[in-house]
Amino acid sequence: MASPYSKELLLTMYRKMYLIRRFEERAGQQYGLGKIAGFCHLYIGQEATAVGAIEAIRPDDYMLSAYRDHGQPLARGADAGMVMAELFGRGTGYSKGKGGSMHIFDIEHHFYGGYGIVGGQIPLAAGMAFASRYRNEDRVTVCYFGDAAANQGAFHETLNMASKWKLPVIYICENNRYGMGTAVGRTSAVPEMYKRAVAYDMRGEPVDGMDCLKMYETVKDAAEYCRAGKGPVLLEANTYRFRGHSMADPATYRSKQEVEEERKNDPIPKIKDYTLKKKLAKEEEFDAIDEEVKAQVDAAVKFADESPEPSLEELWRDTIVEPGEEDVRPRERVLGVKVKWPSYPSGQELKVTWDLEPREQAEKEDKKAGLAR
Amino acid sequence: MAELMYREALNQALAEEMERDANVFLIGEEVGRYNGAFKVSQGLLDKFGSARIIDAPISELGFTGMAAGAAMVGLRPVVEMMTWNFAILAMDQIVNNAAKLRHMSGGQLRCPIVFRGPGGAGGRLSSQHSQALEANYAHFPGLKVIAPATPADAKGLLKAAIRDENPVVMIEGERLYAVKGEVPEGEHVVPIGKADVKREGKDVSIITWSRMYYFCEEAAQRLEKEGISVEILDLRTLRPLDEEAILATVRKTNRAVIVEEGWALAGVGASVVDIIQSKAFDELDAPVLRVTGLDVNMSYAANLENATQPDAAKIAAAVKKVLYREGA
Ligand SMILES: Cc1ncc(C[n+]2csc(CCOP(=O)(O)OP(=O)(O)O)c2C)c(N)n1
């Protein structure tokens, strides 16, 4: 049977997943060398979750994540050098070395950040989706978080509001079966996270997060649903991290056997095999991609290593917006590359037409309840 | 000039700013159909509709974070906290997200948002509903903190806060909502970061903010009868502190009393003392004194509640003490 997917799509997915894998491997290495410090949470094993979803949405859709946040921006088109420079704490990083591994932001590619408080980004995502509706834009917001984050109040409070107000947000719970060293079942009364959507009368689905194409299909469908104004979607991507929780974690809480078993599910060879089987590309084409990506990652490490530390004056910048202060992208400030900054539209051109609680309906409900208005 | 209540002045500021800029919306518990728990948003739902005056569920963390997310992409939310006591549940979103977005993104993001609502003690509500919490927020870089005492300042500072490009925490006086005062119509914007000499005097400076201003005024009037001339500096903004104004008043009177509704330890007043002693030590004729809430939880019993808070008598006694007057 012919593949419903184009060669271009398949190779793009492969390239992005391979980039994340190589990037993370090199990041791990550099951590070992002491070039990267702090917490460094690798994404190895979970690449399909990011790449499948990102290929399924528009480049101008909003996205945000937790602290395991190198993969998504890379898949969205972030500069690998600037991400690596951020991990190195250099002035050329996306946050000029002020964010580090857990706080990658690339607004140019609509990646609105990695966040270090478990579950803290979940309400922000709903707010971004709220803004899209408020402005009559048909963007969706995609928000990543882990299985452990689904036990936070922020998750429950936000899903309730998102569903009630039909916000265009796709929540992707990456269930990698552990929150740090704790297996999901030990802390979660309902370990199948997608089922929690039922409590908020919203759409919830499980998806094989080790399969890029399944992620792609599911997110594509979810995005359509959101754009049609039908409300938010909770997806549970069942995935696995091959490494420890962070570089500091030897992951002794799970068996070698379990990890070996899961490694057989590696999403990267999976998509390669599929493409080869469908005869859409040759082995050599993959080899060429591999070489390009390796060179890209080498260049990223070199760029980061050769970049200067941020100047001490940076301490006093970027905490408060001073009156009249123009926003300057880090790229523009450090590398001298001009990029257009997303504008903050002024009020005049904005007409808010959306109604959260249509007046007529409210009046009807009041009448039914015997209340005057 | 119209005479308005503090709550009406706030209402006017909200209405004018929402009129001016369609990016501004209000979200909070009971702000819409109920017209606000303290009636600050009276009539706004009818004027602006449910897309802009949003009744939120009782999910302080959730809707506060949601509003911060909307601000990240250019809307200008005003989040009403039913009271700051409940905003403790939302503190993570205010201090870990809103206050840090710009920094963590290396200047890529801004978060123009106002978190506002009543704070302060009193009203026979016991300890969970009766606390002055502004010191908590004044602690965080990335936030601005304002606490107006008068209706005019309430209007002017709220307008400035809504126009500010940063997250602003506005602590209103729960017991001030019915206080009346002259309020300029229309474009009246009080700059954030500027203190105000509310009463000129020459013998001693009282430095204070929000509701305590009224106790200080009462004390000043009593002291005037005893021939003591008190200057009152209303800080209005607690972050950033108006160092210049603090130093100016101390240089003028050479004596200072700081009056704070909240607890003494790690309070805002402690930072004011720090500014004075490090930059105007030689100007002082007496140690700086603080009058604060007692270091206890608030009681329900009327006599205990009263004893816990600063009042005009305690303030007057402190003033006499820094003047080395007997009987203090
Ligand atoms: C509020 C909060 N509590 C605890 C932590 C420490 N912590 C960091 S990651 C983590 C585990 C989270 O697991 P999960 O949400 O499943 O995401 P995963 O790491 O599996 O991607 C914990 C407990 C934190 N960062 N924030």
User: Which one of B61, B73, B162 makes the best mutation probe of the A interface by having the most chain A beta carbons within 10 Å?
Assistant: B73
* Cβ neighbours of B78 in A, within 8 Å: none
Strand partners, B293: B263
pLDDT value of residue B285: 98
Residue A354 has pLDDT above 90, yes or no: no
Query: What is the side-by-side order of every strand in the sheet holding A233-238?
Result: A111-114, A62-65, A141-146, A169-175, A233-238, A203-208
Closest C-alpha to A43, from A235, A149, A176: A176
Q: How far is A289 from chain B (nearest CA, A)?
A: 31
Q: Any idea which fold B2-183 has?
A: Rossmann fold (3.40.50)
Going by their DSSP bridges, the two strands B237-239 and B144-146 should be labelled as antiparallel
Note the ipTM here: 0.95
pLDDT value of residue B271: 98
Report the C-alpha dihedral over residues B31, B36, B39, B41, rounded to 10 degrees. 0
**Those residues with Cβ within 8 angstroms of residue A12's Cβ, 6 or more apart along the chain or in another chain:** A55
Q: Is any Cβ of chain A less than 8 angstroms from the Cβ of B83?
A: no
Q: Which residue has the higher pLDDT, A363 or B295?
A: B295
What tokens does B169 get? 């925490």
Query: B167 to chain A: nearest residue by CA?
Result: A320
Q: Where are the domains of chain A?
A: 7-314
pLDDT value of residue A302: 97
Eight-class DSSP state of A314: G
Pocket of ligand 1 contains residue A117 by CB under 6 Å: yes
CB A227 within 8 A of CB A140: yes
Given ligand 1 and candidates A118, A121, A151, which is best to mutate, with the most ligand atoms within 8 Å of its CB?
A: A118
Pocket of ligand 1 contains residue A293 by CB under 6 Å: no
Q: Residue A248: how many CB atoms within 10 A of its CB? A: 11
Catalytic position from the list B30, B129, B218, B243: B129
What SS3 class is residue B24?
strand
Catalytic position from the list B60, B80, B217, B260: B60
Share of chain A above pLDDT 90, in %: 86
Q: Which residue has the tokens 């834009």?
A: A137
Give the predicted TM-score (pTM) of the model: 0.96
Closest CB from B56, B77, B106 relative to A95: B106
What SS3 class is residue B172?
strand
What SS3 class is residue B12?
helix
Q: With an 8 Å Cβ cutoff, are A107 and B101 in contact?
A: no
Q: How far is A158 from chain B (nearest CA, A)?
A: 5
Closest C-alpha to B162, from B289, B50, B304, B20: B20
Residues across chain B:
328
pLDDT value of residue A348: 67
Q: Is any Cβ of chain A less than 8 angstroms from the Cβ of B23?
A: yes
State the average pLDDT over residues A206-222: 98
Q: What is the CATH number of domain A7-314?
A: 3.40.50.970
**CA B180/CA B177 separation, integer angstroms:** 8
B60 catalytic per annotation: yes
pLDDT value of residue A56: 98
B103 catalytic per annotation: no
Strand partners, B119: B173
Whole-number Å distance, alpha carbon B284 to ligand 1 midpoint, is 51
**CA B290/CA A114 separation, integer angstroms:** 43
Tell me whether the omega of the peptide bond preceding residue B240 falls within 30 degrees of 0, making it cis. yes
Q: Is any Cβ of chain A less than 8 angstroms from the Cβ of B88?
A: no
First-to-last C-alpha distance (Å) of chain A: 63
Residue A373 has pLDDT above 60, yes or no: no
**Those residues with Cβ within 8 angstroms of residue A360's Cβ, 6 or more apart along the chain or in another chain:** none
* Cβ neighbours of B58 in A, within 8 Å: none
Q: A256 vs A134, A201, A253, B226, CA distance in Å?
A: 50, 40, 10, 84
CB A340 within 8 A of CB A110: no
Residue A186 has pLDDT above 90, yes or no: yes
CB A289 within 8 A of CB A18: yes
User: Which one of A64, A86, A134 makes the best mutation probe of the B interface by having the most chain B beta carbons within 10 Å?
Assistant: A134
Whole-number Å distance, alpha carbon A175 to ligand 1 midpoint, is 12
Please determine, looking at this structure, whether the domain spanning B196-322 carries the CATH number 2.60.40.1260. no
pLDDT band at residue A336 under the 50/70/90 scheme: confident
**CA A231/CA A252 separation, integer angstroms:** 41
State the average pLDDT over residues A235-261: 95
CA dihedral for A19, A20, A22, A27, sign (positive or negative): positive
pLDDT value of residue A345: 64
| Residue A122 backbone dihedrals phi, psi, to 5 degrees | -65, -45
First-to-last C-alpha distance (Å) of chain B: 41
What tokens does A16 get? 């992005």
Whole-number Å distance, alpha carbon A351 to ligand 1 midpoint, is 40
Residue A170 has pLDDT above 70, yes or no: yes
What tokens does B261 get? 């509704």
Q: How far is B151 from chain A (nearest CA, A)?
A: 25
Residue A269 has pLDDT above 60, yes or no: yes
CB B153 within 8 A of CB B4: no
Pocket of ligand 1 contains residue A149 by CB under 6 Å: yes
**CA A99/CA A101 separation, integer angstroms:** 7
State the average pLDDT over residues A148-167: 97
Closest C-alpha to B44, from B58, B54, B57, B59: B54
Residue A361 has pLDDT above 80, yes or no: no
CB A88 within 8 A of CB A305: yes
User: Which one of A121, A137, A139, A161 makes the best mutation probe of the B interface by having the most chain B beta carbons within 10 Å?
Assistant: A161
Closest C-alpha to A111, from A65, A146, A148, A150: A65
Alpha carbons within 13 A on the beta-carbon side of B279: 15
Q: With an 8 Å Cβ cutoff, are A320 and B63 in contact?
A: no
Does B196-322 match B2-183 at the fold level?
A: yes
Q: Which residue has the tokens 């594509």?
A: A220
Consecutive 10-residue runs of chain B (328 residues): their mean pLDDT? 96 97 97 96 96 97 98 96 97 98 95 97 90 97 98 98 98 97 96 98 98 98 98 98 98 98 98 98 98 96 96 98 82
Pocket of ligand 1 contains residue A146 by CB under 6 Å: yes
**CA B255/CA B323 separation, integer angstroms:** 8
pLDDT value of residue A332: 79
Q: With an 8 Å Cβ cutoff, are B66 and A124 in contact?
A: yes
Q: A168 vs A142, A294, B292, B299, B314, CA distance in Å?
A: 9, 37, 48, 46, 56
Share of chain A above pLDDT 70, in %: 96
Q: B146 vs B74, B117, B215, B239, CA distance in Å?
A: 22, 11, 19, 7
Q: Where are the domains of chain B?
A: 2-183, 196-322
Strand partners, A325: none
Whole-number Å distance, alpha carbon A245 to ligand 1 midpoint, is 9
**A to B CB pairs, distance under 8 Å:** 192
